[in-house]
Structure 1
Amino acid sequence: MLALSPFDWFLAALAALIVGASKTGLPGGVTLAVALFAQLFPARESTGALLPVLICADVLAVSLLRKPPDWRLLLRIFPWTALGVLLGWGLLGRIDNAQLRLIIGVLIVGMTLYQLAQRLVWGSSPLPSSNSRAFAASMGTAAGITTMIANAAGPFMAFYLLAMRMGKLEFVVVNAWFFLAINSFKVPFATNLGLITWDSLRFNLLLVPLVLAGALLGRWMLRRIHQRVFELMVLLLALVGGLRLLMPA
C-alpha cells in the first residue's frame, strides 16, 4: 500500500477528505470514497483499507455532535445489522476479487440511482413512517451485509431513519453513533479475513490528518454551498465511480 503512485496517493487523500466531510454534515460522500478505494486496491482489500478511515471519521463526528442518540432506535436495528455483518463476513470468505468488484459496482450504481431518483423525481419527500419489527429487520440485515462487503450501508440506514420521521439533528446524531458502533463491530471480522493488517494501518495513519481536514472543510462548505447542489454532485461522481467498477479491470 505504501508503494502507491503519486496519482494513487492523490485519490487516497481525496477519499479521506470526502469521508471526513461526509461525516460532518455533507452526506453521500462515503459512496464515492468506496469507489475511489476500489480503484486503488483489489476489491476485498479496499474494504479493509477504508474501514479504519471511516472509524476515525465516526469518532470525530460523535465528538463534535456531543449529543446522545435515541438508543431505542439503535437497539431496534443493531442486532439485525450485526446478523447482516456475520452474513457478509461469510460471503467475503467465498468470493474472489472480480466477483466482489462487480458486487461493489452494482451496489454503488444501484444505491446512487435510487438516491438520485429520490431527489430529482420524488423531491426527497419523507418516506412513510414504519415502526414494524419486519422493517427494522430487513433494513438492518441489508445494512449489515452491504457494510461488511462494501462499506456501503448508508442508503439503508437513511431509509430506516427517514421512515422514523426524525428531525435533521436527531438524524445526524443517530446515524453517527450507529456507524461508529457497527464499523467498530466489523474490525475483528475484517482482521480475521486479512483485510486489516499492520501495513494497511500504517497507510490509514497517514490519512488521519486528511480526515480531520475533511471534517473541517465539510463544515465550511456546508455554510457556502447549497446542500442539494452538493449532494447531486457527489452522487453523480459516485455513479461514475460505480460504473467504472463494472468495466473490465
Structure 2
Amino acid sequence: MTELSPLHWFLVALAALIVGASKTGLPGGVTLAVALFAQVFPARESTGALLPVLICADVLAVWLLHQRPDWRLLLRLFPWTALGVLLGWGLLGRIDDAGLRLVIGVLIVGMTLYQLAQRFWGRPAAPAPSGASVLFTAGMGTAAGVTTMIANAAGPFMAFYLLAMRMGKLEFVVVNAWFFLAVNSFKVPFAAGLGLITWDSLRFNLLLVPLVLAGAVLGRWMLRRTPQRAFELMVLWLALVGGLRLLLPA
C-alpha cells in the first residue's frame, strides 16, 4: 500500500478528509469515500482498507458530540444489523473482485440516485406505522448490515430509518454516530478473518489519521459557511460519478 502512485495517494487522502468531515457534521461523504477507495484498491481490499478510517472518525464523532443516544432504539436495531453483517460476510467469502466491484458500483449509484430523487421530487419520510415497526426495523437493520459489510455503504438505509422515526437533528446525528461506531467495530473480526485487515493495512491507516482529524475540523468549518443543501448535492453528484466509474471495465 505504501507503493501507491501520487494520484492514488491524493485519492485516499481526499477520502480520509471526506470521512472526517462527513462524521462530524456534513453527511453523505462516506459514499464518495467508498468510491474513491475502490478506485485505488481492488474492490475487496478497499472495504477493509477503509474500515479502520471509518472507525477512527466514528470515535471522534462520539467524543465531539458528548451526548447519549436513544439506547432502546439502538438495541432494537443492532441485532438485525448484526444479522445483516453475517449475511454480508458470507457473501464476501463467495464473490470475486469483479463481482464485488459491480455490487459496490450498483449500490453507490442506486442509493445516490435515490437520495437525489428524494431531494428533488420526494416528500419528507413518514413515520413507520406502529403495527409494522418490527418488520420495518428488521428490514432496515438487515439491509444496513449487508451493505455495510460488503461495501461500507449503509448510510442511506440508516438515514431513511432515523428520518422515519422523526428524530430531531441533534438526536439524529448522535444516534447515527453511536450506531456506526458499534457496527463498524463489530465488523472488524469478520473483515480480519477474510484477510481484508492486516498489519500492513493498519500501518497504512495510521498515515491517514491526521487527515481524518483535519477533515473533522474542516467539516465543522464548512458546516458554518456552506449551505447544507449545496454541500450534500455536491457530494451526491461526485459519489454518482464515482459509482458509475466502478461499473466500467477496470
User: With structure 1 as the length reference, what TM-score do the two structures score?
Assistant: 0.98
Alignment root-mean-square deviation, CA? 0.7
d(CA) in 1 for partners of 2:128 and 2:64? 29
User: How do 1:131-146 residues align onto structure 2 when only pairs under 5 Å count?
Assistant: 131=130, 132-146=133-147
Counterpart of 1:228 in structure 2 is: 229
Paired-residue identity, % = 85
Counterpart of 1:28 in structure 2 is: 28
d(CA) in 1 for partners of 2:108 and 2:126? 21
Q: What is the CA-CA distance between 1:128 and the residue it aligns to?
A: 3.2
- After superposition, the Cα gap between the structure-2 partners of 1:130 and 1:49, relative to the gap in structure 1 and judged at 3 Å, is farther
Q: What is the CA-CA distance between 1:122 and the residue it aligns to?
A: 1.6
Q: What is the CA-CA distance between 1:59 and the residue it aligns to?
A: 0.1
Counterpart of 1:42 in structure 2 is: 42
Confirm or deny: 8 A CA contact 1:130 1:164 kept in the other structure. no
User: With structure 2 as the length reference, what TM-score do the two structures score?
Assistant: 0.98
Question: Which ranges in structure 1 are unaligned for 5 or more consecutive residues?
Answer: none
Counterpart of 1:18 in structure 2 is: 18
Confirm or deny: 8 A CA contact 2:125 2:160 kept in the other structure. no
SS at match of 1:142: helix
Counterpart of 1:126 in structure 2 is: 125
d(CA) in 2 for partners of 1:127 and 1:3? 49
d(CA) in 1 for partners of 2:108 and 2:234? 15
Deviations, residues 17-54 of structure 1 (Å, cap 9, x unaligned)? 00000001100000000000000000000000000000
Confirm or deny: 8 A CA contact 1:49 1:204 kept in the other structure. yes
Counterpart of 1:80 in structure 2 is: 80
Confirm or deny: 8 A CA contact 1:88 1:146 kept in the other structure. yes
Question: What count of residue pairs does the alignment treat as equivalent?
Answer: 248
Confirm or deny: 8 A CA contact 2:81 2:144 kept in the other structure. yes
Q: Which amino acid aligns with 1:224?
A: R
Query: 1:186 aligned to 2:184?
Result: no
Counterpart of 1:150 in structure 2 is: 151
Question: Which ranges in structure 2 are unaligned for 5 or more consecutive residues?
Answer: none
Confirm or deny: 8 A CA contact 2:25 2:223 kept in the other structure. yes
Confirm or deny: 8 A CA contact 1:26 1:227 kept in the other structure. yes
Confirm or deny: 8 A CA contact 1:43 1:97 kept in the other structure. yes
